[in-house]
Amino acid sequence: MTGPRVGLLCLGPMEPLRRPLSPCSSRPSSPRSPPCETSVSVGIEAVLDQLKIKAMKMGFEFNIMVVGQSGLGKSTMVNTLFKSKVWKSSLPGLATPTPQTLQLHSVTHVIEEKGVKLKLTVTDTPGFGDQINNDKCWDPILGYINEQYERYLQEEILITRQRHIPDTRVHCCVYFVPPTGHCLRPLDIEFLQRLCRTVNVVPVIARADSLTIEEREAFRSRKCFDEDINDRILNSKIRERIPFAVVGADREHLVNGRCVLGRKTKWGIVEVENMAHCEFPLLRDLLIRSHLQDLKDITHNVHYENYRVVRLNESHLLPRGPGWVNLAPASTQQLTTPAPLKVRRRVQEDPKDEF
Amino acid sequence: MDKEYVGFAALPNQLHRKSVKKGFDFTLMVAGESGLGKSTLINSLFLTNLYEDRQVPEASARLTQTLTIERRGVEIEEGGIKVKLTLVDTPGFGDSVDCSDCWLPVVHFIEEQFEQYLRDESGLNRKNIQDSRVHCCLYFISPFGRGLRPLDVAFLRAVHEKVNIIPVIGKADALMPKETQALKQKIREQLKEEEINIYQFPECDSDEDEDFKRQDAEMKGSIPFAVVGSCEVVRDGGTRPVRGRRYSWGTVEVENPHHCDFLNLRRMLVQTHLQDLKEVTHDLLYEGYRARCLQSLARPGARDRASRSKLSRQSATEIPLPMLPLAETEKLIREKDEELRRMQEMLEKMQAQMQQSQAQGEQSDAL
């Protein structure tokens, strides 16, 4: 199920795989030279290669949800993260009007890099926090997340299960906080408190090119995040910098002879991948390069298990007997799915997207 | 030659002298969600630090915050001319999860000022009328949205007939030039669609020179103003010090017309249209309020007199009698209601006590 981490093959620095220390410790052991004292190497290292090959054949799945008010650059951010036109982002004032109720909109792409396939599903939530009365605007989102857990649960308790259960559970929810420069708004706090128990939440400061470095630090120090949210993220160095101040861009500009993604204003060009300008590289590393598998593992081992325990307890049933046991349909009390829940799913198979 | 020279060409000078002696007063309201740079902009506009003692509330305190109206006053003097500036702030606007009707306190405040003026004007001693009416409202629109949000529309709809509105896009350094244009266009379209009357600049006279006309047209074309505020002076190496915001990728200059519309806003608000704003407030908005108010007090005679006096303002002989202002009668009624309620409560308490003592008496009898 969850073997040793095999991250998406990528250009960034990878964590070195652990090698057995050679008994002749004066010499550093190189990957290929056998240890001094044993004459025959068992070849355990090859197991990792097998896993890698299998994983590459199977491909990876990743489901990400972006939540935030309209205009905070969610679509652009997703495009920038995966360096492909996952969404067609729109300039303000163009055709997309803000919807009256919260809708959930999913798009699936298969992107490929160096032979590794990633089936990426992005769920957008247009209409979040845009109305005058935003009370309970998080309910449809919670409902959707629980619905995915329910689907997986139903598949899991079948007698004859599929070999590979399609995983539509949300692995990560990126929450976009507007760059007010003061502190979190009541809406942000309500949402984060409710959702951090159900799903991995990564808060980011959106459109951070309107905050200077000092303002960002002040904002970070004034946040009132519970440690709960941050416990999920393993790397403490990254944890300190949460929420990341990010900027997204899908246009390239020439800076010092290099072609970089950025936003061009009259007083300079904001480079998205420049750590001095914004913390987008940290977000990308967290989500893709180093912690993608962690996010999936935590979703499976922690959040999904919590959900499962609650559901099994409330239906007082365990799978037994010849026919498969149909769990009682979820009571409306547990899953908050109010009537106007709209989920549109479009599956687009793009065999090859250039990077 | 002296026969043909009457001498009233010097009248403007007299006006000038009197104004300088009297000084100006101006009430400006700023409204909009928090975090849009309102305080910084005000400090930049008037080159003061009006918000020195402000404390931004912690996130947990914000959960229970309601809209409050705060007034700050400052006297600014420049070139011998004094301006008494009153700033009305609306902290807490648009901050809560449920913002329904959060604009009502603001509307109430504006009407209260009108009412105060109406009472003063209809009073006996009119020597020292303090004009606390709101002359202008700078409404801050978020640069991150896709135009006006539902809350913006609701607020503007509620106040557009009561105060001069100047829409402003705050924190405009978050936008690239194309985005700024698109956003402005969208906001203008939305304002037209929702039939919101913002402050209209008066047309400049045909005999003004071309340069002025061009400037005027440019200013009108850049509404809503996309502004950036800053109280810090940035010294960039060899160049002269400028007010601006320093980023790692460049410095935004507040007073650079290519970077933002701050200069336009300042010119318009202070240098060219301050008096016009006050006049529109008095002649149009206040008169509208007054007419509505007097009509609603509606004794048939009063109604006729009110409408007649509205049409022929010149004939000041037809002054309607100073009737007891609406608020005071309401207040009296409310006080009487309170008294009645208190008396009722006392009665109920006494009755309950009597019943209790009766019940106890019966018990002791039974024993």
What's the rounded mean pLDDT across residues B35-53? 82
CB pairs under 8 A between A and B: 139
Nearest residue on chain B to A276, judged by CA atoms? B248
The β-bridge relationship of strands A60-67 and A201-205 is unpaired
The DSSP string of B272-303 is ISHHHHHHHIIIIIIHHHHHHHHHHH--HHHH
Rounded distance, CA B34 to CA B56, Å?
Answer: 10
A72 touches chain B (CB under 8 A): yes
Nearest residue on chain A to B154, judged by CA atoms? A132
Residue B52 pLDDT: 64
Burial class (CB in 10 A: 0-12, 13-18, 19+), A106: middle
The residue type found at A351 is: P
Q: What is the pLDDT of residues B24-34, one digit of tens each?
A: 889 999 999 88
Tokens of B184: 């402005």
Rounded distance, CA B60 to CA B47, Å?
Answer: 32
For residue B182, give the nearest of A93, A182, A184 by CB distance: A93
| Closest Cα in chain B, distance from residue A137 (Å) | 9
Tokens of B342: 């208190």
The pTM of the full predicted model, rounded to 2 decimals, is 0.75
A98 touches chain B (CB under 8 A): yes
With 70 as the cut, is the pLDDT of residue A335 above it? no
Q: Tell me the residues of chain B between 151 and 180 that have a Cβ less than 8 Å away from chain A.
A: 151, 154, 171, 173-179
Is A186 within 8 Å of B143 when comparing Cβ atoms? no
Is B174 within 8 Å of A276 when comparing Cβ atoms? no
What's the rounded mean pLDDT across residues A283-287? 86
Q: Looking at chain A, list the stretches that DSSP marks H as alpha helix, in order from N- to C-terminal side.
A: 45-58, 74-82, 139-156, 186-195, 213-222, 227-231, 236-240, 280-284, 292-298, 304-315
Is A130 within 8 Å of B149 when comparing Cβ atoms? yes
Rounded distance, CA B247 to CA A267, Å?
Answer: 9
Phi, psi angle pair for A47, to nearest 5°: -60, -40
Q: Is the Cβ–Cβ distance between A191 and A176 less than 8 Å?
A: no
Q: Residue A351's closest CA among A111, A73, A138?
A: A111
For residue B35, give the nearest of A133, A181, A190 by CB distance: A181
Give the C-alpha distances (Å, rounded to integers) separating B290 from B122, B265, B285. 11, 30, 9
Chain mean pLDDT for chain B: 82
Listed range (A59-63, B43-47, B304-308) with the worst mean pLDDT: B304-308
Is A132 within 8 Å of B154 when comparing Cβ atoms? yes
The DSSP string of A33-67 is SPPSS-SS---THHHHHHHHHHHHHH-EEEEEEEE
With 80 as the cut, is the pLDDT of residue B305 above it? no
Residue B125 pLDDT: 81
* Positive or negative torsion for Cα A65, A71, A73, A79: positive
Rounded distance, CA A24 to CA A34, Å?
Answer: 11
Residue B154 pLDDT: 93
Disruptive mutation site among B41, B146, B189 for chain A (greatest number of A CBs within 10 Å): B146
A259 by DSSP, 3-state: which?
A: strand
Global ipTM: 0.72
Is B98 within 8 Å of A133 when comparing Cβ atoms? yes
Q: Is the Cβ–Cβ distance between B251 and B244 less than 8 Å?
A: yes
Residue A351 pLDDT: 40
For residue B176, give the nearest of A134, A213, A265 by CB distance: A265
Tokens of A75: 């679509």
| Closest Cα in chain B, distance from residue A141 (Å) | 16
Is B100 within 8 Å of A132 when comparing Cβ atoms? yes
